[in-house]
Amino acid sequence: MTVKRFGDLLPQAPPVAATALSLRPRRPIVRRALGPDTAELADVPELLRRLYRARGITAAAQLRLQAERLLRVGTLEQVQAAAELLTAYRQRQVVVIGDFDADGATSTALVLRALRSWGFIDACFLVPDRFKFGYGLTPGIVQEAADRGAQLIVTVDNGTSSLAGVELARALGVAVLVTDHHLPGPVLPDADVIVNPNLPGSGFGSRALAGVGVAFYVMAALRRHLDSLGLLPAEALPVQQLLDLVALGTVADLVALDDNNRVLVAEGLRRIRARRCVPGILALLAAAGREPDDITAADLGFLVAPRLNAAGRLDNMSIGIDCLLATSEAAAQPLAQQLDEFNRQRRGIEAEMQTLALAAVRGMELPQRGTRRSGLCIYDPAWHQGVVGLVASRIKDRVRRPVIAFAQAGDEGWLRGSARSVPGVHIRDVIDAVATRHPDLVGVFGGHAMAAGLSLPLAHLDRFAAAFDAEVAQWLARCEPDDSLLTDGALLESELSLDTAQQLRAAGPWGQGFAEPCFDGCFRIMHARVVGERHVKLRVQPEGSQAIFDAIAFGYLDDETRDVPQGRVELVYRLDINVYQGQRRLQLLVEQLQSPA
């Protein structure tokens, strides 16, 4: 299988050796700047106070992550109109149409659990098959919903850019409620109601809500409205019982953990740890080999979300939604096992695609000019369209430039791409600018600052790749990405302890926009061995200390790095708790290992 090069985007150069493009260059370490130290944080332990100050925490209230601190439901524009529209269709067929990722799956399950508990007699869901319909409320999925008798379509995590789909629904006499968080285009669809905190002029206090967060606010408004009308059944589900799904979808979608999202995630994690969550989450944790008692936001992101996402990438997200809708662990378990198997298949496909993509990137470098490409487009006709987003993300992390990975779409002659960006380059706006300057190049697109999706004809790929590279170059000229590694500084030897690791775990949730603490320091490697082919297990000693600590560098070995590290090294690491045979031990999770400056 050969990775295609696409067009003479830059002057041709002969193939270069693997070392010509350094995929793992040394990155300067920069310690996070501290915000003001306030009296309100005086009672917080010194290390935590330092971490919080670096993340903009200035008030003790920001550390009280309870539901009463959530932004008020009524402050999200149009939630009352959405509640009234839903109530009008309580005795008619409501079809929920979600995205095919974890945010869409959790949103769909959340809305259906609420509607079915609150007296909606005919609520069901459809998921756009990415291989048949593509993303969002397309005319194809609208027609299928109408053929099944839909009288109200509720979108979750999509719909803001679905102009044609909403137009067809209205023509067929089907009402449409759009709930979404994606950035809007210049024209909004003619839906009955749109709830989206990112619409122009929104005054809602959190534009970082995930799709599942928007769905939660709409359902909270609906429950309140039904209650005011005396329409709630006696055993109606409390809205708080939906927060486990909110936590999972919010973490999975990598939205910023602002104050409001941190409360949503913290409340959801509390429910999961207490096993007061949907059986499907417990089954997915069991498939990953984890007990729920002390899980973190990172566990949701790295263990649960990939298994859920694997269904949408390789098959159909209906399996993931059914798992989250299961009413018992016995019913959820076989679905979770199927999702686990999809995830294993996904890892294999992704690894092969990533190897090919890295080879393509090396081949595109032009060392004689001393420059590197600004924006990369990579494509292979055999790639799986369900995994290109993951490949784009991995390559972006290695070359630290915006990347779009393309695969063949279901329609002959068309490609579907997933874009991933770096701080400072708003990837959706980049694609929008290309589409504006070259109206014939791009089909449909949508997304966020850091991730986007698009479709285009294969015949346009060369021209699009050149236009994309040029547009990204303009962004980089204004805001060159910082290649440095941000850390929280060094730890004292007394802070390198299991107690500190437990303290940090309890101080979360950490995540996107509220980075999990990482530290830097010089160590001497006392022992190193390879585990699992690509990982390196280490015993390291801090400089000036006699203490020795366990550490592990996941994925350290690859096609460019084949030897285990030795001697004196500089580590960027996180503190982790390794549980083995019932014993809890401190372990350093190595983010980067490099020679000291």
Whichever domain contains 569, its CATH number is 2.40.50.460
The answer to the question of residue 8 being in a domain is no
Q: Which one, of 266, 209, 187, 166, lies nearest residue 77 by Cα? A: 209
Residues 329 and 381 in one domain: no
Cis peptide preceding 367, ω within 30 of 0: no
**Cβ–Cβ under 8 Å, residues 507 and 48:** yes
Helices and strands counted in the chain (H then E): 17, 17
pLDDT at 364: 56
CA distance 155 to 165: 11
The answer to the question of residue 236 being in a domain is yes
Select from 342, 374, 401 the last residue of a domain.
342
Residues 303 and 451 in one domain: no
Both structure tokens of 419: 């874009």
Overall number of domains in the chain: 3
With tokens 């329409």, the residue in question is 231
pLDDT at 11: 28
CA distance 74 to 350: 43
**Residue 496: domain span:** 485-594
The answer to the question of residue 39 being in a domain is no
Q: What is the pLDDT along the chain (597 residues), one digit of tens a residue?
A: 233 433 333 323 222 222 222 334 567 889 999 998 888 888 999 999 999 999 999 899 999 999 999 999 999 999 999 999 999 999 999 999 998 889 999 999 999 999 999 999 999 999 877 667 767 899 999 999 999 999 999 999 999 989 999 999 999 999 999 999 998 988 999 999 999 999 999 999 999 999 999 999 999 999 999 999 999 999 999 999 999 999 999 999 989 999 999 999 999 999 999 999 999 999 999 999 999 998 999 999 999 999 998 888 787 889 999 999 999 999 999 999 999 999 999 888 888 887 777 776 665 554 444 456 789 999 988 888 888 888 898 888 888 889 999 998 876 789 999 999 988 899 989 999 999 899 889 888 877 788 888 989 999 999 999 999 999 999 988 876 666 788 999 999 999 999 999 999 999 999 999 999 999 999 999 999 998 878 899 999 999 899 999 999 988 876 666 678 889 999 999 999 988 777 899 999 999 888 887
pLDDT at 14: 27
Residues 144 and 278 in one domain: yes
Residues 490 and 450 in one domain: no
Residues 93 and 194 in one domain: yes
Residues 6 or more apart in contact with residue 481 via CB below 8 angstroms: 400, 401, 422, 423, 424, 425
DSSP-based helix, strand, coil % in the chain, nearest 5 = 40, 20, 40
Say which DSSP state 315 is in.
S
Q: Is 413 exposed, middle or buried (CB count within 10 Å of its CB: 0-12, 13-18, 19+)?
A: exposed
Residues 119 and 254 in one domain: yes
pLDDT at 295: 93
**Cβ–Cβ under 8 Å, residues 353 and 366:** no
The answer to the question of residue 51 being in a domain is no
CA distance 565 to 593: 8
Select from 478, 501, 523 the last residue of a domain.
478
Residues 131 and 255 in one domain: yes
Q: For 486-575, where are the alpha helices, taking DSSP H only?
A: 498-506
Residues 460 and 490 in one domain: no
Q: Is 63 exposed, middle or buried (CB count within 10 Å of its CB: 0-12, 13-18, 19+)?
A: middle
**Cβ–Cβ under 8 Å, residues 306 and 334:** no
CA distance 77 to 201: 10
The separation between CA 311 and the C-alpha centre of its own chain, rounded to angstroms, equals 15
The full 3-state SS of 128-174, as one line of letters, equals CCCCCCCCCCCHHHHHHHHHCCCCEEEEECCCCCCHHHHHHHHHCCC
Strand order in the sheet with 122-126: 122-126, 93-98, 152-156, 175-179, 193-195
CATH number of the structural domain spanning residue 473: 3.10.310.30
The answer to the question of residue 202 being in a domain is yes
Residues 334 and 422 in one domain: no
Q: Which one, of 209, 249, 214, 259, lies nearest residue 78 by Cα? A: 214
SS3 category, 390: helix
Backbone angles phi, psi at 581, to 5 degrees: 50, 40
Residues 447 and 369 in one domain: yes
CATH number of the structural domain spanning residue 244: 3.90.1640.30
CA distance 341 to 347: 10
The answer to the question of residue 472 being in a domain is yes
Backbone angles phi, psi at 403, to 5 degrees: -135, 140
Residues 213 and 315 in one domain: yes
Say which DSSP state 544 is in.
T
Select from 440, 463, 478 the last residue of a domain.
478
Half-sphere exposure of 53 (CA within 13 A, CB side): 20
The answer to the question of residue 453 being in a domain is yes
Residues 400 and 520 in one domain: no
The answer to the question of residue 333 being in a domain is yes
Q: Is 394 exposed, middle or buried (CB count within 10 Å of its CB: 0-12, 13-18, 19+)?
A: buried
